[in-house]
Amino acid sequence: MPTYEYLCPKCGHAFELFQSMRDEPLKKCPKCKKAGVKRLIGGGAGLIFKGSGFYITDYKKKSVAPAGGGESKPAAPPAATPAVKP
CATH of the domain at 21: 2.20.28
Is 35 among the domain residues? yes
Tell me the pairing of strands 38-39 and 14-18: unpaired
pLDDT at 3: 85
pLDDT at 32: 95
Domain count, the chain: 1
Is 4 among the domain residues? yes
The range of the structural domain enclosing residue 20 comes to 1-42
Is 34 among the domain residues? yes
pLDDT at 39: 93
User: Residue 8, Cβ neighbours under 10 Å: how many?
Assistant: 21
Do the beta carbons of residue 17 and residue 6 sit within 8 Å? yes
pLDDT at 36: 94
Residues in the chain predicted with pLDDT less than 50, given as ranges, are none
Q: Please indicate, yes or no, whether the overall pTM of this predicted structure exceeds 0.75.
A: no
